[in-house]
Amino acid sequence: MIKLEHITKIYGQGQENLCVLEDVNLTLRRGKFTVLLGPSGSGKSTLLNLIAMLDKPTSGKIFVDGQEITALKSESARAKVRLNKMGFVFQFDGLLPEFSLTENVDMPARLRGRPNPKIAQELLEKLGLGAMVHKLPADLSGGEKQRASIARALRNHPPILLADEPTGNLDAARKEQVFKDFAALSREQNLTIVMVTHDVHAADYADDVYRLENRQLVKTN
Ligand SMILES: Nc1ncnc2c1ncn2[C@@H]1O[C@H](COP(=O)(O)OP(=O)(O)O)[C@@H](O)[C@H]1O
Ligand SMILES: [Mg+2]
């Protein structure tokens, strides 16, 4: 699965440096929904970006399915792992306004040269958006758009879903729906989900919960 070993992240150099993570060890269980909690500025996005290989740790190793991803030398090697194994959901849905929901959700497959709108529509149906497959993002509520972006993240069937504050723009009821979706997806599709958030209510829906504080991770359930 995903394993972080002795991860330290220091931004900057010399006197100006900022240590955000210090000797963090973490095992993310396959098929489980893990929530990493922490206030703004605690290093949540930093940690997620290291797993996504968008940034490198100052020291330490990260393994995905036994492969040391921190040892990958080229951007193309990292991109390949990302494309094959990871889906991403962010605070902003990132849907393209001039494309229908079906086209938006199918985009990751189209970029790989394997478009199939039917699969995109099945994913939308699974997330309760079956009636909206032909609509434009502007016709949807914030919660619906975020669920469409989850469908898009799942389009290439990644075994891992990484989510950075995916409910940051949603009201309480919509947040709860996203947490429930994640819990159900991890259970039903054996999807490994890592969500970072400052929303402590997310803990109620997760299999594993950690809190990031003082540069360290503490298990809280
Ligand atoms: N690229 C960067 N360069 C320097 N400092 C950064 C950089 N990215 C984040 N930081 C700092 O690291 C700390 C943690 O940031 P971040 O991981 O974004 O926290 P969170 O996602 O929990 O709000 C913050 O103090 C932030 O200002
Ligand atoms: Mg953040």
Convert the pLDDT of each residue in 107-166 to its tens digit: 999 988 999 999 999 999 988 999 999 999 999 998 899 999 999 999 999 999 999 999
CA 81 vs CA 67, 86, 145, 208, 221: distances in Å: 10, 7, 27, 24, 30
How many A from CA of 43 to the centre of ligand 1?
A: 6
Kindly list the structural domains of the chain, giving each domain's residue range(s) and its CATH number in brackets, ordered by start.
30-57+67-219 (3.40.50.300)
- What is the spatial distance between Cα 195 and Cα 24, in angstroms, rounded to a whole number? 17
Ligand 1 atom nearest 212 alpha carbon: 22
Ligand 1 atom nearest 46 alpha carbon: 17
Instruction: Give the tens place of pLDDT for each residue, 64-85.
Output: 999 999 999 999 999 999 988 9
| Ligand nearest to the CA of residue 47, numbered in listed order | 1
User: With bands split at pLDDT 50, 70 and 90, how would you rate the model's confidence at 211?
Assistant: very high
Q: What is the pTM of this model?
A: 0.93
Q: Is the dihedral of CA 165, 169, 172, 173 positive or negative?
A: negative
- What is the spatial distance between Cα 107 and Cα 134, in angstroms, rounded to a whole number? 14
Ligand 1 atom nearest 12 alpha carbon: 4
Token pair 């949540």 is at which residue? 44
Instruction: Give the tens place of pLDDT for each residue, 26-37.
Output: 999 999 999 999
> Taking CB atoms and a 6 Å cutoff, what residues make up the pocket around ligand 1?
11-12, 18, 20, 38, 40-46
| Ligand nearest to the CA of residue 165, numbered in listed order | 2
- What is the spatial distance between Cα 112 and Cα 115, in angstroms, rounded to a whole number? 8
